[in-house]
Amino acid sequence: MSRETLVQQTTNSPESGSSTSSSFNADSFDQSVMSTYGRFPLALERGQGCRVWDTQGKEYLDFVAGIATCTLGHAHPVMVEAVTRQIQKLHHVSNLYYIPEQGELAQWLVEHSCSDRAFFCNSGAEANEGAIKLARKYAHTVLEIDKPIILTANASFHGRTLATITATGQPKYQKNFDPLVPGFYYVPYNDIRAIENAISELDEGDYRVAAILLEPLQGEGGVRPGDVAYFQKLRQICDETGILLIFDEVQVGMGRTGKLWGYEHLGVEPDIFTSAKGLGGGIPIGALLCKKFCDVFQAGDHASTFGGNPFVSGVALSVCQTLERENILANVVERGAQLRAGLENIAAQYPQHIAEVRGWGLINGMELLADIPLTAIDIVKAAMEEGLLLVPAGPKVVRFVPPLIVTEQEVEVALQKLGKAIATVTK
């Protein structure tokens, strides 16, 4: 689809049997909205389950899910009911008062994780900001470190705020935003010797390593799973030194990997971890979860006007309860194995183009060979023409993150569409 086609359209939906007039003009949009996104020429207006429709009425299988966010897909009955019920009851009051829905959500998260406390905000970046602040206060008040350092990994991604792009080990996100926030140091992912060397080198004078912030599986960095032995050794180092171990579970948490939390794949527990994206199923919410030491945060140290309000907490709780009640994690494991097997079969057909398939559960990446001109964007665009929505994870990795309710048939159809798309771009 070209950008010029994004004009007034009439949508005829075979599912609803009704015709609705839908008007969209890309030029008008671009005149009013900042150009901070490289958008595809596609305007979506309706969704149901794992399918979405554009303003022309074309149907797509959605294997992006709002970038690993729409846990239950689109227009899920449980979410529709929760949204309706809560908006009619009470949607926002601020954290000046106790919010029962927030307390229930926190209790569910604590009972279903290694954490003891929860703080709620609006996004993954905010949750990671909170983790950084908590680690720094702990460093100053408990570890007595004057100049704390937080280690993060190359190719990581932790958000778009000034502190979180500094924590992000990818220079392309930091360009022209300097001076960056001090106190961060980058090491290769899955390299324990690099961690040990960094701790040794940085622990001089007033500087000391106070925390290590990592993703259990790097999402934006190319869908790269953490190595079990690496993370277990890391936990041992942190236990011996008092360094805090922080996991960014924004993309991999809430069942995306086939387990509720990514750290469960690694056999270790973090001291702090963050969640967002799938937590609200598409409703904006983030969470900072930690052990009891987080009581170093006292009244006035951290806050969020909208964080954990009745509306978002009520809807997020419905998502959590549905994951558990309907045993959706079992579906993630089965469909993830099916998807990976299908991707590996496709990769075997194109050894001159595809290097590797990797992932956990329903977050999977297909990496292209580095020395060929074909890019992830090329495949994403070709798949879109076939009616399949995908998202890159860097220039050479195509990412597959469908809703966790995706069916066996939908995975098979997606693989067929992907096969056609790859055949087209590799001719």
The model's confidence at residue 27, banded by pLDDT at 50, 70 and 90, is confident
Q: pLDDT tens digits for 304-351?
A: 999 999 999 999 999 999 999 999 999 999 999 999 999 999 999 999
Enumerate the domain spans of the chain.
3-75+328-425, 77-325
For residue 277, indicate whether it is catalytic: yes
For residue 157, indicate whether it is catalytic: yes
The model's confidence at residue 11, banded by pLDDT at 50, 70 and 90, is very low
Predicted TM-score (pTM) of this structure: 0.93
State in Å, rounded, how far the first CA of the chain is from the last one.
20
For residue 27, indicate whether it is catalytic: no
β-pair type (272-275, 244-248)? parallel
pLDDT at 12 over 50: no
Task: Provide the token pair at 2.
Answer: 């070209």
Distance in angstroms (rounded) separating the CA atoms of residues 186 and 209: 12
Residues 54, 62, 248, 378: which is the catalytic one?
A: 248
Q: Could you tell me which residue, 356 or 5, shows the higher pLDDT?
A: 356
Distance in angstroms (rounded) separating the CA atoms of residues 214 and 60: 34
* Residues 102-123: b if buried by 16+ CB within 10 A, e if exposed: bebbbebbeeebbbebbbbbbb
Any idea which architecture 3-75+328-425 has in CATH?
Alpha-Beta Complex (3.90)
Q: pLDDT tens digits for 155-208?
A: 999 999 999 999 999 999 999 999 999 999 999 999 999 999 999 999 877 799
Q: pLDDT tens digits for 363-393?
A: 999 999 999 999 999 999 999 999 999 999 9
Q: pLDDT tens digits for 79-132?
A: 999 999 999 999 999 999 999 999 999 999 999 999 999 999 999 999 999 999
Residues 120, 184, 259, 277: which is the catalytic one?
A: 277
Q: pLDDT tens digits for 36-92?
A: 898 999 999 999 999 999 999 999 999 999 999 999 999 999 999 999 999 999 999
Residues 157, 231, 297, 311: which is the catalytic one?
A: 157
Fold topology of 77-325: Aspartate Aminotransferase; domain 2 (3.40.640)
Whole-number pLDDT of residue 23: 73
pLDDT at 245 over 80: yes
